[in-house]
Structure 1
Amino acid sequence: MNRSPELELLAPARDANIGIEAINHGADAVYIGGPSFGARASAGNDVAEIERLVRHAHRFNARIFVTLNTILRDDELEPARRMVQQVYEAGADALIVQDMGLLEMDLPPIQLHASTQTDIRTPEKARFLEDVGFAQIVVARELTLPQIQAIANKLDRAKLEFFVHGALCVAYSGQCFISHAHTGRSANRGDCSQACRLPYTVTDAAGRIVAHDKHVLSMKDNNQSANLAALIDAGVRSFKIEGRYKDMGYVKNITAHYRKLLDEVLATRPALQPASSGKTTFTFTPDPDQNFNRGSTDYFVNGRQEDIGAFDSPKHAGVPLGWVTKVGKEHFDLELDDGVPPLHNGDGLTYFDLQQELVGVQLNTVSPLDNIGRRWRVMPNELMTSFKDLRVNTVLKRNRDMAWVRGLEKKSSERRIPVALHLTRTAAGLALSAQDSEGHRVTVHATHALDRARDSAKAEASLRDNLSKLGTTIFNAPAEAITLGGDVGACFVPTSVINPLRREAIEALEAERLRALPRLAPLPAVEPPALYPEDSLSYLANVFNHKAFDFYAKHGVKVIEAAYESHEELGEVSLMITKHCVRFSLSLCPKQAKGVMGVQGTIRAEPLSLINGNEKLTLRFDCKPCEMHVVGKMKRSVINQAHQASQAAATAVAPITFYRQRPVSPRS
């Protein structure tokens, strides 16, 4: 088990500017897409931007992880290797990987982290990934605390990472192929079409409607705020926030929220420490409910729950606001709930119509109807006839608070590293020592003849004031951390001498911190090569290139199938495997019926169907592991499109037919 004393808050970044603000708001590490091959296709960044982010992060001993977590075709392997070299030279600290083919390549000595796409659910697989060289491993979001603990107990060297906030993929990560089957857009290649957020009609084996037009595969958003201490006890050391597509306000707010929570835990556990430097203060009170969310759930961490789904809508309903008191031809009036902040022009409201569809209302102008800001008249930016079923007593929520949005558009945090300054007199003039809270220390000197001040108290106060002026740096020096040696406090030291000396000391200290920051070392693979926990792999292993095939063969796998994206799986297969169970969520699970008079033994886990227009999927239930399979087949149009693309670009190795059920000689 990993016994690192450090806790890491790992925040997402769509671009370098957002990544810098994640660091400023308390992140110990940031993960960001490189120029290509990341699992968020439209969230790539130039190497120069990665380097800019690295420079800022390293000032606080924070780390930057670059995502390269798609599966790769053979013709993409060399471009991927070149990209790895570039981001390594830019200073990136680690690479987040899904494709095992990369481990068979000549990469620079960059640390490797296992992506969520590697689908880590068992201690055996986690240990295997540690043994082949992964220094950090993010386990499946579906695991319970005991399951996480079992994995932590199996690890000797790798750090355990867990998602604590953000959108939830309903499938085990890396085990969803619906998008590719229906559209040709592969989730494993960073281009998911999010079929899980669509509405479906659920029918039983007899064709009877069980649920009509419900988003039965859409999950609420992950929120582990209440479980951080328990996750630490279970062995988690890196706390990951989802959201590389999210905006600046989300990253600021959610990073600040978890920074405060982790700091509260750290204050009670002196044996633990944050993974980076500095204390962060905020100009706002973090509130996860203010950002886009579908409601919150802690998913399976504390066992199977009944309320994990956002079945009515995959949109952001917002926080409770009030209710409608009057509906006019061009406006409507409302009254706010107790304690609700006032309305603002541009706010966004929502309500559910009589069919439980979420309706959004953007406010053009608002005006109070009383002196206490409780009753309001609002003019929406659309005709009132656009708002179906808006009537007196309709309950309203607010999903965009412009005051909140504008507040986070400004500077909203400050991150500083405590430093102690000691000024003393020398034979030649002055010596100023600066030491940060981690023990890095520098001393700089100034040659200047010193005379005694006429007013020693005033001179000392001025000296201390000038030494404390660290406003634009990453440091702060509390009054008690500024000390004066000998009689220097009684001397007159001109501002023109002390200010340059202070700047020189702070610049030298920051340079010393960067010099002393070690590069994260790769985790050596064990020898001889570890055996993979199974001796055969299906399309679920996402083997899409020769190098990945060679990797698994080297580690003892005898039968290796091609990835689903190779277009060899043309029949019906599991397009999604998920811990979420539609039967359970609709109260149709056979286990739920146990002990209920008159129904015991009459409810069986028979297949259900999901229908959306012309799309039809079958739900099959594997009750022993308590999992659901969404079964379907690849559209002929997708197959034809792939074949045409392959013929048009002969160098693009799309089908890899020789992998299919190819036996491999056992290792000698």
Structure 2
Amino acid sequence: MKELELLSPAKDLQTAIAAIDHGADAIYIGAPVFSARASAGVSIEDIRKVCEYAHLFKAKVFVALNTILYESELKEVEQIITKLDKAGIDALIIQDKAITELDIPNIPLHASTQCDNRTISQIKQLKEEGFERVVVARELNIEEIQEIAKEGMEIEAFVHGALCVSISGLCYVSQYLTRRSANRGTCAQICRLPFDLTDADGNIIVKDRHLLSLKDMNRSEYLPEMAKAGVTSFKIEGRLKSIPYVKNVTATYSINLNNFIELNPNQYKRASVGEIEYSFSPDLTKSFNRGYTSYLLKDRTEDPIASPETPKSKGREVGHVSHIDIAKRTVRIDQIHNLNAGDGLLIIHKDGTIDGTQVNTISSPYSIEPDKIDIFRNGDQIYCNRDRIFEMTLEGKQTAIRKIPIKIKLALDENGFALTLTGPNGYDEAKTIIECMHEKAKKPQGERIKKELEKLGQTPLSSKETDISEVEEYFIPASLISEARRKASEMFCQKAIQNYKPKRIAREKRASQKLNSGIELTYQANIANPLAEKHYKQLGYTIAQKAYELTPQRHAALMTCRHCIKRELGYCTREKKTPMPYKEPLLLHHANGTLRLKFDCKNCQMIVMEGE
């Protein structure tokens, strides 16, 4: 039976616990330093606490240490990994192959999406280098994932969250324009800025639009197809996201995954243990999103991937403005709005420009009194990008309770009564003795004893079966039952944490030099230290260029994208649309600099180049 894993992000200890509570089978969290989200580093001590909590439910903890590394940092990385091993992590997510050459414990290695995992040959090499799992590129469709899965590696694939317009690991725009490297965890998010687009003659084609900004991924409907294609880990993006975001998105995907498994109980099961009760109704439209796309799983005409109006959150669509009453300061919407006072609004005007305000008062099911009235025009699209009540619900209290289902048995013992707690497969039972005389009761005690045993309260345990058949006729003081239940519960949880053994595997490098002989690696291999260089040379490669961060290349490809501005304009040559009337190259202009666009139509890619 195949285990399916929901993998959620965590920026800190509190978010990690929230993710586990709301249905994650695993979480990924940043190392103290050297993760691809530099501002989301977490201390070793907090990671240890995360491991204890996660392992109680047989959930895993993966640590992202996925930047490229400089020579001066390798010793520190080695020390950090040793500490992470002692903290009990389950795997490392890495980009820099120098890590495979360090003297580190046998923690399973996952190849980060920053490694540009798109082709069969890349996956074969990763397998031979000793990687256990590959995080496949977001750009792959179901068929491409299916082909890669045939290689026998664990497949982890993104299902939700922000999209990089460039293929991960191949973006150097931030480094080029700001000296902040995406491969070093300090991306300046140049792709979210507004640009002017001109042709080679200086004609303005588009002005002040977010031409490189994409919508957010939402593949919640595609979990069955992805699972059948070979995906075993479904990854939610967002190590900088808030606790309400992580709660809502994790809960949504956990419920969807359970629904799929219920239809296929003999083929799939969840990778961790725990039954969850939610006190809210998950809704993806109420969390930060720039509009949603399945990202290349559907035809792009039906499912556009770009978000040129704004890189800000759109949220859920409310409707269109049908009437404005300036005197009463009210806006009427063409459908029931379901808004509340304090909700945030995004307004998209007919010309594509945007404004924002919030709701002050609800006038009717169709009308609102906004904070700003003069920004509205008839026909404007209105979105709710901040649901105040929903966010307050998720931020302010416990919204999910996760419990391990157990069986409780109270039986006769020569020293009194034996209380035994038994969990699912993989858990050791916990047993404690109630030292008490076998005194027959004057009236039946079954209901009282059962009720007392099942008072598991704040523990992470929930009784699914309570067997008191041997003791119903005996009197046992409630205080003794309560104390035994407390001791047994603590013992069960302690054993679960202490007996959990993170997987450790001996790695053998088996990659053949012959396979790679004569292949030159450019700056796109992101080789930033001598140990990584040594690693690739041992595999037969020739190092032609070092990482762009060390030796910037003139006329370099700064981005490699599946998003295509020419296509967005309606001039896709593959789709035999209208020939483009503008002279190439097309140029993107921003205060930070100019970028040149190159179109590789044969491979359906847009390359963003230096502007000169």
- Do the two structures share a fold, i.e. TM-score over 0.5? yes
User: Is the counterpart of residue 377 in structure 1 residue 369 in structure 2?
Assistant: yes
For residue 425 of structure 1, what is the aligned residue in structure 2?
A: 412
Q: Is the 8 A contact 1:136 1:160 kept in 2?
A: yes
For residue 453 of structure 2, what is the aligned residue in structure 1?
A: 467
1:349-428 correspondence runs (5 A): 349-363=345-359, 365-366=360-361, 368-369=362-363, 373-378=365-370, 380=371, 387-388=374-375, 390-392=376-378, 394-409=380-395, 410-428=397-415
Distance 1:294 1:407 in 2: 22
Quick one: which amino acid aligns to residue 5 of structure 1? K
How much has 1:207 moved relative to structure 2? 3.3
Q: 2:308 aligns with which of 311, 332, 351?
A: 311
1:209-248 correspondence runs (5 A): 209-248=204-243
For residue 102 of structure 2, what is the aligned residue in structure 1?
A: 105
Q: Is the 8 A contact 2:323 2:333 kept in 1?
A: no
Distance 1:327 1:43 in 2: 46
Quick one: which amino acid aligns to residue 622 of structure 1? D
For residue 204 of structure 1, what is the aligned residue in structure 2?
A: 199
1:141-290 correspondence runs (5 A): 141-155=138-152, 158-270=153-265, 271-290=267-286
Quick one: which amino acid aligns to residue 493 of structure 2? E
When residues 496 and 577 of structure 1 are mapped into structure 2, their CA distance, relative to the original with a 3 A threshold, is: same
How much has 1:333 moved relative to structure 2? 1.1
Q: 1:75 aligns with which of 67, 72, 77?
A: 72
Give the % identical residues. Answer: 37
Distance 1:121 1:606 in 2: 29
User: Is the counterpart of residue 451 in structure 1 residue 439 in structure 2?
Assistant: yes
Distance 1:309 1:249 in 2: 25
How much has 1:433 moved relative to structure 2? 1.6
How much has 1:376 moved relative to structure 2? 3.5
How much has 1:47 moved relative to structure 2? 1.1
How much has 1:523 moved relative to structure 2? 5.6
Distance 2:551 2:511 in 1: 34
How much has 1:338 moved relative to structure 2? 4.7
Please list the CA deviations of residues 411-455 of structure 1 after superposition, one character each: whole Å capped at 9, or x if unmatched.
110101110111111222101121112263233222210211111
1:517-666 correspondence runs (5 A): 517-522=500-505, 524-527=507-510, 533=516, 535-569=519-553, 571-593=554-576, 606-613=584-591, 615-632=593-610
Q: Is the 8 A contact 2:533 2:543 kept in 1?
A: no
How much has 1:614 moved relative to structure 2? 6.2
Distance 2:503 2:297 in 1: 30
Q: 1:87 aligns with which of 84, 104, 108?
A: 84
Q: Classify the secondary structure of the residue corresponding to 1:300.
A: coil
Which consecutive unaligned segments of at least 5 residues does structure 2 have? none
Distance 2:247 2:173 in 1: 33
How much has 1:246 moved relative to structure 2? 0.5
Distance 2:223 2:290 in 1: 21
Q: Is the 8 A contact 2:95 2:114 kept in 1?
A: yes
* TM-score after normalising by structure 1: 0.87
For residue 328 of structure 1, what is the aligned residue in structure 2?
A: 326
When residues 31 and 209 of structure 1 are mapped into structure 2, their CA distance, relative to the original with a 3 A threshold, is: same
For residue 113 of structure 2, what is the aligned residue in structure 1?
A: 116
How much has 1:579 moved relative to structure 2? 1.3
When residues 314 and 416 of structure 1 are mapped into structure 2, their CA distance, relative to the original with a 3 A threshold, is: same
Q: 1:40 aligns with which of 37, 42, 48?
A: 37
Q: Is the 8 A contact 2:407 2:422 kept in 1?
A: yes
Distance 2:188 2:345 in 1: 27
Q: Is the 8 A contact 1:618 1:630 kept in 2?
A: yes
For residue 462 of structure 2, what is the aligned residue in structure 1?
A: 476
Q: Classify the secondary structure of the residue corresponding to 2:472.
A: helix
1:21-40 correspondence runs (5 A): 21-40=18-37
For residue 442 of structure 1, what is the aligned residue in structure 2?
A: 430
Distance 2:437 2:99 in 1: 63
How much has 1:395 moved relative to structure 2? 3.8
Q: Is the 8 A contact 1:33 1:40 kept in 2?
A: yes
Distance 1:393 1:127 in 2: 54
Quick one: which amino acid aligns to residue 396 of structure 1? I
Distance 1:143 1:107 in 2: 32
How much has 1:222 moved relative to structure 2? 0.6
When residues 531 and 167 of structure 1 are mapped into structure 2, their CA distance, relative to the original with a 3 A threshold, is: farther
Distance 1:300 1:533 in 2: 31
Quick one: which amino acid aligns to residue 401 of structure 2? E
Distance 1:290 1:101 in 2: 42
Q: Which moved more, 1:500-509 or 1:18-27?
A: 500-509
Distance 2:44 2:409 in 1: 40
Please list the CA deviations of residues 295-341 of structure 1 after superposition, one character each: whole Å capped at 9, or x if unmatched.
11111234655611001211112223353643437x72134565543
Distance 2:420 2:135 in 1: 42
Distance 1:106 1:295 in 2: 45
How much has 1:560 moved relative to structure 2? 3.7
For residue 56 of structure 1, what is the aligned residue in structure 2?
A: 53
Q: Is the 8 A contact 1:593 1:603 kept in 2?
A: no
Please list the CA deviations of residues 571-606 of structure 1 after superposition, one character each: whole Å capped at 9, or x if unmatched.
211111111111112111112226xxxx68x88995
Q: Classify the secondary structure of the residue corresponding to 2:40.
A: coil
Quick one: which amino acid aligns to residue 537 of structure 1? L
Please list the CA deviations of residues 461-481 of structure 1 after superposition, one character each: whole Å capped at 9, or x if unmatched.
000001111111111013xx0
Q: Is the 8 A contact 1:12 1:32 kept in 2?
A: yes
Q: CA RMSD in A?
A: 2.2
How much has 1:489 moved relative to structure 2? 0.6
Q: Is the 8 A contact 2:573 2:601 kept in 1?
A: no
Quick one: which amino acid aligns to residue 279 of structure 2? T
Q: Is the 8 A contact 1:128 1:530 kept in 2?
A: no
How much has 1:404 moved relative to structure 2? 0.5
Quick one: which amino acid aligns to residue 585 of structure 1? E
Distance 1:520 1:539 in 2: 34
Q: Is the 8 A contact 2:290 2:313 kept in 1?
A: yes
Q: Is the 8 A contact 1:589 1:605 kept in 2?
A: no
How much has 1:274 moved relative to structure 2? 0.8
For residue 641 of structure 1, what is the aligned residue in structure 2?
A: none
For residue 652 of structure 1, what is the aligned residue in structure 2?
A: none
Distance 1:84 1:529 in 2: 27
Which consecutive unaligned segments of at least 5 residues does structure 1 have? 635-668
Distance 1:25 1:164 in 2: 17
How much has 1:554 moved relative to structure 2? 0.9
Distance 2:45 2:151 in 1: 39
Q: 2:478 aligns with which of 480, 489, 495?
A: 495
Q: Classify the secondary structure of the residue corresponding to 2:45.
A: helix
Q: Is the 8 A contact 1:617 1:631 kept in 2?
A: yes
Quick one: which amino acid aligns to residue 40 of structure 2? A
